[in-house]
Copies of this chain bind each other. A is one copy, B any other.
């Protein structure tokens, strides 16, 4: 069978890439209201593609936001059921001028496909469609039962999916949940991520005088909203990168010696990363390695900040408004709601005189860790190894897929995070791209995994 899959995928590679290009061309930016229709087009494109590969019961379930796409094929009697999750929405594209080619005009250069969503998550999710298409066309049936769940709000915190999952537990019943929305540590080294950080954040809006003031007439006499914001933002962390929000670290577990040793054994190259990012130094919380800081330590980052005059030249204004967006990455036991509460308290306790500050929470996601000894996860490791020819790494990820924690809590089934992204592929940034070698090998990994799963569950 291995050969049949290989031949099929080789034969249809160009067609598959054409289809991927078509999908990546849809600007389904879920966070921007001007892309509402485009985001719906993303959902419709997926529904249509699911139909073409023989899926059934296809439906766009409306939500308060963007619809959830469901489909299934459940004719593999007495075989396990796999729930495959993905998202059809993508991040905004600004700053647009830094893209070498337009974000929604996919371009292949150097065996990489460049487009917003290339890895996160359209490209990765698309592989599941095509692996299943291959199995279906070769065998006329699938080795397992398959259910698809694709949402359009992952990039805005999966606002409406938890309620959908809660209300549709029967529809979504499965033995294992399979997600490709993470990455490997390095080229040619497959990795399965068994832990993800959570997310909590707020927008901070500072308001000073009733309007902008002349910095000559009032400067030195009246609070400047930008200075107040700077003072407030600076209070969040000390010079060693330690977050100063009271009780922020209370529930964070110390790193075990075993984990420390395992991470050190990965031989992660900080120098390689510095070179890749073109920075002189990697900077973060004192006393932790880069891997520890990005996998198992919580963070607080300013994602955006603005106020006053941003145009060309000089404008001697004393601005009366200033704004910032901050988000925290959370580790196990930290509760996003509690963190938002602590952040709000911190802002209130540190608001400089002469301004008022409003705090607005963003959508949240809980952190997640699963035991990687589970047979369904170990089987995924073997499928990777067969295709890539090297042992699979078991790692944790710094990012957040809020829905993973929700699946864990509501559906209580093992979750396999089968990621094919690579560091440096610019998720959420300009020039996002996906290495096509991982597209090719990933298709084979997925097909192998679905084929092997019945054995794993019958053991």
Contact = CB atoms under 8 A, between A and B. Distances in A.
Contacts of A297: 220
B282 A91 contact: no
A428 B212 contact: yes
Interface string A169-193: 0000000000000010000000000
Contact of A220 (B218, B293, B306, B363): B293
Interface string A350-393: 00111100000011000000000000000000000000000000
A61 to B, nearest CB: 22
A400 to B, nearest CB: 5
Contact of A313 (B94, B156, B237, B306): B156
Interface string A217-251: 11111111011011101100101010000000000
B327 A314 contact: yes
Interface string A410-440: 0000000000000100111111000000000
Q: Is the interface of A mostly helix, strand, loop or mixed?
A: loop
A199 to B, nearest CB: 7
A290 B220 CA distance: 8
Interface string A274-293: 00111111111100001001
Q: Of A234, A280, A301, which is in contact with the most chain B CB atoms at under 10 Å from its CB?
A: A301
Interface in A79-103: 91-92, 94-95, 98
Interface in A291-325: 293-294, 297-299, 301-319, 321-325
Interface stretch (A17-25, A143-151, A203-211): A203-211
A220 B284 contact: yes
A31 interface: yes
A329 interface: yes
Interface residues of A, number: 102
A234 B231 contact: yes
A219 B294 contact: yes
B294 A218 contact: yes
Contact of A197 (B120, B216, B293, B298): B216
A281 B354 CA distance: 5
Contact of A213 (B208, B277, B309, B327): B277
Contact of A278 (B33, B209, B308, B315): B209
A114 to B, nearest CB: 13
A123 interface: no
A98 B319 CA distance: 13
A264 B318 CA distance: 25
Contacts of A306: 305-307, 310
A90 to B, nearest CB: 11
A399 interface: yes
Nearest to A224: B301
Contacts of A210: 276-278
A92 B315 contact: yes
A304 B315 contact: yes
A210 B424 CA distance: 10
Contacts of A294: 217-221
B400 A216 contact: yes
A31 B311 contact: yes
A438 to B, nearest CB: 16
Contacts of A319: 302-304
A280 to B, nearest CB: 7
A33 B312 contact: yes
A290 B221 contact: yes
A222 B183 CA distance: 18
A32 interface: yes
Nearest to A297: B220
Contacts of A117: none
Contacts of A32: 311-313
A353 B281 contact: yes
Given A155-B315, A219-B294, 20 more contacts: A31-B312, A209-B279, A212-B429, A213-B277, A214-B428, A215-B303, A215-B428, A220-B398, A223-B283, A224-B301, A226-B304, A230-B230, A279-B355, A303-B318, A304-B309, A304-B310, A305-B306, A308-B325, A314-B363, A315-B428
6 contacts: A219-B299, A219-B301, A220-B241, A222-B282, A283-B353, A305-B306
6 closest A-B pairs by beta carbon, nearest first, are: A216-B399, A304-B308, A220-B299, A304-B309, A212-B429, A223-B283
